[in-house]
Amino acid sequence: MPPDGSSNPLEKTPDMASLSPAERAKIYKERAAAAGIGRPPSAAQEAGAPPPAAAPTPPPAPAAPAARPAAGARPAAGGGAGAAGLTPEQRQRLAAAVQRGPAGTAPAAAAPAAAAATSSRPSSAADARLVYVWPHLVTIELMAALLLMVSLIIISMIIQAPLEARANVDVTPNPSKAPWYFLNLQELLLHMHPALAGVIVPAGALALIAIIPYFDRDPRDVGKWFGTPRALAITNCTTWFTVIVLTLEVLFDANVGVKPMMTGLATSTGIDLFAWPSVVNVIVPLIFMLGPIPILIWLINRRYKPVSTRDWMICLFTGFFVSYIILTIFGTFMRGQGMQLMWPWDPRMIRIE
């Protein structure tokens, strides 16, 4: 039986004798909500005005526990007259009974579990942002594979690949070239010492690429092609600078040559140091290879004023990538018989068995 205006909300009524502790806790919670206990006082109550009297509810007929309102149901907000006759001790006991909840479970222990259960279930908005492997990624990969296969079939029908003679171990073809992905290193072998071109330069380039994340530690815009405002302009400038400088260096070495230049310099000055093999094959090629880098850094800093480490990493990596492409193009299309520099349409580009 719910309390009326003059009864004590903590009073154990006869209909509660056969109820379990959990069911009695629900009734205490309903009475506390009706009495206004556990809610912040209204502005009128803070000003000292007496709480409004709640309309007395006629006592309903005793019913089974299933006929009582649910535990989550709350009456309309407002203070009840039943709370006016409670002592502070009775108010404290009623609030403690309400906070214990069903079966004496502490709310402090139940709240984290409920929060964890709520956070473990992704919301519909988060589901809308997710990209799954199936069907999103697999569909894109399938379409890319089909497009590549169709392109290869069409190219093989239009362009007939030449069939050469059976390999002969007694005859070395002229020119003898490495696979295309090693032609850049083979191009370097024509300009410097083999140990420098085949071991030191590739190992140093790979080591510098591997330590880029230790210099650029900013996690913002990771994975973007041009993640900074000046990245695109720096990339264009670095590309043109690398193409021009590298082309001029290859043409210079093919028409003048480092060894003839250093031999003539040693003859004209009488200094044999200029003709030493270490100077001709190592030191001078390193100067030609590394010398343009400070010039590029000065040019980028003067023109674009990079403000982040990522701008410099983009600049240096672009120079390395463009150098790889240019050396591969020279080694593939512009090296004919005897690995001489020729135009792609020169008849001497045909390989001789």
333 within some domain:
yes
Domain end marker among 63, 87, 107: 107
Residue range(s) defining the domain that contains residue 43: 14-107
For the segment 325-348, the average pLDDT, to the nearest whole number, is: 89
229-251 pLDDT tens trace:
899 999 999 999 999 999 999 99
* pLDDT average, residue stretch 98-120: 52
Q: Report which residue type is found at 239.
A: T
Spell out a b/e string for 304-332, using b for 16 or more CB atoms within 10 Å of the CB, else e.
bebebebbbbbbbebbeebbeebbbebbe
Residue of 236, 214, 217 lying closest to 225 (CA atoms):
236
| Residue 111: count of CB within 10 angstroms of its CB | 10
Position 324 in a domain? yes
Give the pair of three-digit tokens for residue 151.
């392109």
Q: Is there a single domain that holds both residue 324 and residue 220?
A: yes
For residue 278, being part of any structural domain is answered with: yes
Dihedral angle of Cα 85, 87, 93, 99, to the nearest 10 degrees: 60
The DSSP call for residue 104 is: G
Asked if residues 253 and 347 have their Cβ atoms less than 8 Å apart, the reply is: no
Could you give the maximum distance between any two Cα atoms of the chain, in Å?
Answer: 125
The reported pTM is 0.56
Residues 180 and 265 in one domain: yes
Q: Is the pLDDT of residue 162 over 80?
A: no
Residues 180 and 321 in one domain: yes
Let me know whether 101 and 190 are in one domain. Answer: no
- The highest-confidence range among 9-18, 23-32, 147-156, 274-283, by mean pLDDT, is 147-156
Q: Does residue 153 belong to any structural domain of this protein?
A: no
pLDDT tens-digit readout, 38-84 = 665 555 555 555 555 544 545 554 544 444 444 444 444 444 445 55
Q: What pLDDT is recorded for position 146?
A: 97
pLDDT tens string 297-308: 999 999 998 888
Cα distances from 28 to residues 34, 53, 122, 256, 265, in angstroms, run 10, 20, 35, 101, 105
